Amino acid sequence: MTSKLLLAATAALAFATPAMAQTVAITNAKLVIGDGGQPVDGGTVVIRDGKVVAAGPGVAVPAGIRVIDAGGKWVSPGIFAGFTRLGIVEVDGVDETNDSGASGTPFHAAIDVTPAVNPKSTPIAINRAEGITRAVVAPDNRGSIFAGQGAIIDLGSDMDAVSKPRAFQFMEWGEAGARAAGGSRPAAYAALKNVLFEVRDYVRAPGSYTDRGKDAFLTRADAEALVPVVQGRMPLLVHVERASDILVLLQLKKEMPALKLVFVGATEGWTVASQIAAAGVPVIATALNDLPESFEQLAASQSNIGRMTAAGVLLGIGTINQDEARQARWEKQYAGNLVALTKVPGATGLDWGAAFAAITSKPAEALGLGGEFGSLKPGRRGDVVIWDGDPLEIGTSAVNVIIDGVEQPLENRWTRLRQRYLDPKEGALPKAYQR
């Protein structure tokens, strides 16, 4: 075991950056592209310099490159976790290790999660071992509807985790937005309108836009961070649950067509699905919440995703407020449950291909990044997982995880503790000597 671990560690060091990514082919695969299609047998994936060159049943393996024979196993793109706080929290309840939000700062929209991402955090290693290869990482809001700028990260074992810094701005709306804005939805709406006004002011003359100390509604840094949002160059992810709140945002989008809105959560989305689809606003939805956890989620139903998808909404799965710092791995189980709904009378689920796309290509597309992540179409990052069964089924494990073309170590604290305590009794020496 030890020597195997050393090897893995050496491999991780040797291929520490995407620039050193591998070229590899995976053959004899039960292949899933991640674009909504069903698996096909006898597939091949070719990755060159960390990117997918080709994937399909009739793909030839270029001469002289490394070949992994999947032996008929399932092969798919790695899971693209649609909304998480992976890598910025070690233990939620231990403040020193939790960089998701800051209540003592004057900055909000300017906050950028990038410097907080720790590739060595435990949740990254655990989720990597279960086939999660990329994640949307968002900050949490404190004292403003704007939480700050989130990133796309990879879950590789190297120290270069951030694939795309400042990929989006995150905003709270509905009950959480109201709370942050002082206590009501109109207050949140006024705050948003004022911020947009101030940002336009900033754009007109950045040099003369000055901080106004504690009286400022928007610091200079916050204004600067919001320019690409207002100009439609950066998606604005908005956590919103209630149908009427969704419609308010759709009206705002009509007034400011440049805004690249993406809804997060959207528990009551199914009740206004046609309007969301018509506005072309993608959704990163919570998968299975069917409880009226709050008054903005009264219409909660597990059929939400199926119904919105059927209405034509571009839809991926995320895990907002669902152990998002550590349990992105549950997205596979969530997607499987959406397939289960297709057998429940009156419910609306997703077929297997659509369910798998909802945790791979769809969330990437929702952020406008479908050309780079989330599927095995040519040109995408070489994030590939070989599974020992149907990846949505309980009990299936990732047996080989490849990120940017680099094979990843799958050891973590879970596997280490398991090895020590598979027999809980102490032996000739204390457990502390058993590794």
Partner 1 sequence: MIRSLIIFGALAGLAACDSSSTRAQSASSDPAPAASGPGKGKGYNHDPFPSTYHAYPGAPTLLTNVTVLDGEGGRIDNGQVLFRDGKIVAVGQNLAADGATVIDGRGKYVTPGVIDIHSHMGDYPVPGVQANSDGNEMTGPVTAEVWAEHSVWPQDPAFGRALANGGVTTLQILPGSANLMGGRSVVVKNVYARTMQGMKFPGAPYGLKMACGENPKRVYGSKGRMPSTRMGNIAVDRQTWARAVEYKRRWDKYEEKGGEAPSRDLAMDTLRGVLEGEILIQNHCYRADEMAVVLDMAKEFGYHVSAFHHAVEAYKIADLLKANNTCAAVWADWYGFKMEAYDAVPENLAILDKEGACAMIHSDDGNGTQRLNQEVAKARASGIKAGMNISEEHAWTWLAINPAKALGIADKTGSLKPGKMADVILWNGNPFSVYTRPEMVWVDGALMYDSKDPKRRPVSDFELGQPGEGDVK
Among 205, 422, 428, 429, binds partner 1 (CB under 8 A): 422
Tell me the HSE value of 279 on the side-chain side, using a 13 A CA sphere: 28
Among 164, 260, 326, 362, binds partner 1 (CB under 8 A): 326
Per the CB < 8 A criterion, the answer to whether 230 and 203 are in contact is yes
The distance of closest approach from Cβ of residue 122 to partner 1 in the complex, given in angstroms and rounded to an integer, is 6
* Helix 185-204 × helix 243-255 angle, to 10°: 20
Q: Does 302 bind partner 1 (CB under 8 A)?
A: yes
Angle at Cα 163 formed by Cα 158 and Cα 166, nearest 5°?
Answer: 135
Residues 78 to 117 in contact with partner 1, rule: CB under 8 A: 90-94
Rounded CA gap, 30 and 72, in Å? 6
Q: Does 343 bind partner 1 (CB under 8 A)?
A: yes
The distance of closest approach from Cβ of residue 93 to partner 1 in the complex, given in angstroms and rounded to an integer, is 4
Q: Residue 131's closest CA among 79, 169, 170, 65?
A: 79
Helical H runs in 231-367? 243-255, 273-279, 304-310, 330-340, 352-357, 361-366
Q: Does 428 bind partner 1 (CB under 8 A)?
A: no
Q: Does 401 bind partner 1 (CB under 8 A)?
A: no
Rounded CA gap, 261 and 379, in Å? 26
Q: Does 204 bind partner 1 (CB under 8 A)?
A: no
Among 122, 231, 275, 321, binds partner 1 (CB under 8 A): 122
Our CB check for partner 1 shows the closer of 296 and 404 to be: 296
Segment lying near partner 1 (by CB under 8 A), choices 101-109, 166-174, 206-214, 318-326? 318-326
Residue 52 CA: distances (Å) to CA of 19, 44, 45, 403, 419: 15, 11, 7, 11, 36
Q: Residue 237's closest CA among 169, 182, 294?
A: 169
The distance of closest approach from Cβ of residue 73 to partner 1 in the complex, given in angstroms and rounded to an integer, is 15
Q: Does 435 bind partner 1 (CB under 8 A)?
A: no
Rounded CA gap, 263 and 285, in Å? 8
Q: Does 4 bind partner 1 (CB under 8 A)?
A: no
The distance of closest approach from Cβ of residue 432 to partner 1 in the complex, given in angstroms and rounded to an integer, is 12
Structure tokens that stand for 421 in this block:
């305590």
Our CB check for partner 1 shows the closer of 144 and 286 to be: 286
Q: Does 430 bind partner 1 (CB under 8 A)?
A: no
The distance of closest approach from Cβ of residue 271 to partner 1 in the complex, given in angstroms and rounded to an integer, is 6
Segment lying near partner 1 (by CB under 8 A), choices 68-76, 248-256, 324-332, 370-378? 324-332
Structure tokens that stand for 107 in this block:
């900055």
167 phi and psi, to 5 degrees? -80, -20
Give how far the C-alpha of residue 314 lies from the chain's centroid of Cα atoms, to the nearest Å.
Answer: 15
Among 345, 428, 429, 430, binds partner 1 (CB under 8 A): 345
Residue ranges binding partner 1 (CB under 8 A):
90-94, 122-123, 126, 243, 268, 271, 288-295, 297-303, 323, 325-327, 333, 336-337, 339-341, 343-347, 392-395, 397, 413-414, 417-418, 421-422, 424-425
